[in-house]
Structure 1
Amino acid sequence: MVLKLLGVSVDEAEEEVNISKGLTVRKCWLKSRWCPKAVSRPTNYRPVECTARAYLLYLLSCTVFADKSGSRVSIALLKLLEDLNDVGKYAWGAAALAYLYRHLGSATILQVSQIAGYLTLLEGWVYDHFKLCFATPNAKYMDYVQPRVCGWIRKHETVMNVDKLGSIRRTLDRLRPSEVIWDPYVNYGENGVVHVMAFYSGTIKYMDVVEPYHLERILRQFGHVQSIPDPLYRPLEAHRGPSANKYSVKYGFQQDN
């Protein structure tokens, strides 16, 4: 798959697989497949489609499907980029949520110290739902034009020391109900009307990861009257061990409405 979709030689692929020692490639190696210096050399010429796949694979691995290593990329993602005409047809947002939800579940285990997923999205949720001073509002932000997370200016800290982390945890522990925005989507959308797709209820999926999505249980966040929701989807199997590797939840894929 690497040979065909990234347009690399057998020697290049074997060398990278031997270095990575698994079904991953290094981000630095992947970047060299599409960065200007590489593609400008005649000896490194590759079809435009291969260069585009390398770039998209790098982008996805740095954002919505980031793993814990921070330096490697799963080549399983390449399957999603085989036909570039189909890339715009995928529900990337739903897949990103499924991936993040699964890793949020494993991150609740005491012995787990790292988390994977689209943490920029998670950070944006924190800024948007909690009245805390973790970030400065961006006065130049244009709603519905820029990504929501651009509404804040984050302090650039290269290292998060123990004292700072402890301070944030204590702030969260002391959080009062009045400091939480319970209905963040009341005035969201065009003329305050949320798109009907937002009220989907069922399961969302990324690869073999399936997670329940029960928006009908949080209708008050949209300013609606909360009715008695349907029962939760139950997993087919569930195991919660002492480490992330022992955390396993399997749902059957369901699409209700």
Structure 2
Amino acid sequence: MSISLEDVSILLKIPVTGKLVVVENFARYTEESRLDAIKLVSKLFGVSIEDAEDEVNISKGLTVRKCWLKSRWCPKAGSRNTTYPPVECTAWAYLLYLLSCTLFADKSGSRVSIALLKLLEDLDDVGKYAWGAAALAYLYRHLGSATRVQVSQIVGYLTLLEG
């Protein structure tokens, strides 16, 4: 028995039809995609280009670390931080964190793909994407990879396998 789009729609209550979830420029690591990623992180998270570049360099790829996201947008209880980022920056950080922990989880468990951030750039369009179809495609792609002899882990939204 295989998982269908109908199963995804029923189990997760997220759209399976709509705009395609495609991020062309971030498919491969190139100097151009690295610079685009840095600019996007700086623009959407309201950090300097230098801070964005440092984070992208530390995370070693077109990613940011989950701990970096949490430390910037989830101040610890009792901290004296009285300045809060703009609401939009917080929304982008939260949505990016949420997608990377659920639908598009990866093996690192500690990094978030900036490609997902590109899809979140226009907050009005976020609900128009076929997130369910993308999650199912992502899961099937990684199920195929997990069948290889040298692979010992699997990623994706594994809750769909429990249904």
Q: Same fold (TM over 0.5)?
A: yes
Structure with more of its chain in strand, by fraction: 1
Q: Which has the larger radius of gyration?
A: 1
Residue identity matched to 1:121:
L
- Count the aligned residue pairs: 123
Question: In structure 2, what is the equivalent of residue 41 of structure 1?
Answer: 81
- Whether the 8 Å CA contact 1:34–1:52 is kept in 2: the answer is no
Distance (Å, rounded) in 2 between the aligned partners of 1:37 and 1:85: 30
Is the partner of 2:112 in helix, strand or coil?
strand
- Whether the 8 Å CA contact 1:25–1:75 is kept in 2: the answer is yes
Identity %, equivalent residues: 84
State the superposition RMSD in angstroms: 2.0
Kindly provide the CA deviation profile for residues 195-231 of structure 1, in whole angstroms up to 9, marking residues without a partner as x: xxxxxxxxxxxxxxxxxxxxxxxxxxxxxxxxxxxxx
Structure with more of its chain in helix, by fraction: 2
Residue identity matched to 1:89:
K
Is the partner of 1:14 in helix, strand or coil?
helix
Is the partner of 1:25 in helix, strand or coil?
strand
- Whether the 8 Å CA contact 1:33–1:54 is kept in 2: the answer is no
Q: CA deviation at 1:50?
A: 0.8
Structure 1, unpaired ranges of 5+:
126-257
Q: Given the alignment of the two structures, is residue 63 of structure 1 paired with residue 97 of structure 2, yes or no? A: no
Distance (Å, rounded) in 2 between the aligned partners of 1:33 and 1:47: 12
Find the partner of 2:154 among 87, 112, 115: 115
Is the partner of 2:64 in helix, strand or coil?
strand
1:107-256 map, 5 Å: 107-122=146-161, 124-125=162-163
**TM-score of the two chains, using structure 2 as the length reference:** 0.69
Residue identity matched to 2:122:
D
Structure 2, unpaired ranges of 5+:
1-39
Q: CA deviation at 1:64?
A: 0.4
- Structure with the bigger RCO (C-alpha within 8 Å, sep 6+) is 2
- Whether the 8 Å CA contact 2:103–2:156 is kept in 1: the answer is yes
